[in-house]
Amino acid sequence: MNEVRILDKKFRELISEQAIRKRVDEIALQINRDLTGNEVIFVGILNGAFMFAADLFRKIKLTSRITFVKLASYQGISSSGAIKELIGWNEDLTDKNIVVVEDIVDTGATLERIVNELVIRNVAEVKIATMLLKPASYTRDIPIDYIGFEIPNKFVVGYGLDYNGYGRSLPSVYILVP
Q: Which residues are catalytic, by number?
A: 106
- Residue 164 in contact with ligand IMP, rule: CB under 6 A: no
CB of residue 35 to ligand IMP, shortest distance in Å: 23
- Residue 123 in contact with ligand IMP, rule: CB under 6 A: no
Kind plus residue range of the DSSP H or E element containing 67: strand 64-70
- Residue 104 in contact with ligand IMP, rule: CB under 6 A: yes
Give the residue with the Cβ less far from ligand IMP, 67 or 73. Answer: 73
Of the candidate residues 14, 40, 161, 170, the single one contacting ligand IMP (CB under 6 A): 161
- Residue 74 in contact with ligand IMP, rule: CB under 6 A: yes
Binding positions for ligand IMP, 29-68, rule CB under 6 A: 45, 48
Nearest to 93 by CA among 127, 62, 71, 120: 120
| Site track for ligand IMP across 128-147, x = CB under 6 A | --------------------
Residues ≥6 apart with Cβ < 8 Å to 92:
none
Contact, 91 vs 59, CB < 8 A? no
Stretch that binds ligand IMP, among 21-29, 87-95, 118-126, 156-164 (CB under 6 A): 156-164
Of the candidate residues 17, 73, 147, 164, the single one contacting ligand IMP (CB under 6 A): 73
- Residue 155 in contact with ligand IMP, rule: CB under 6 A: yes
Q: Where are the beta strands (DSSP E) in the chain?
A: 3-6, 9-15, 40-46, 64-70, 74-75, 78-79, 97-105, 125-133, 146-150, 156-157, 173-177
Q: Where are the beta strands (DSSP E) in 91-145?
A: 97-105, 125-133
User: How many angstroms separate the Cα of 82 from the Cα of each of 79, 93, 110, 125, 161?
Assistant: 8, 26, 10, 27, 19
List of residues contacting ligand IMP (CB under 6 A): 45, 48, 73-74, 79, 102-111, 155-157, 161
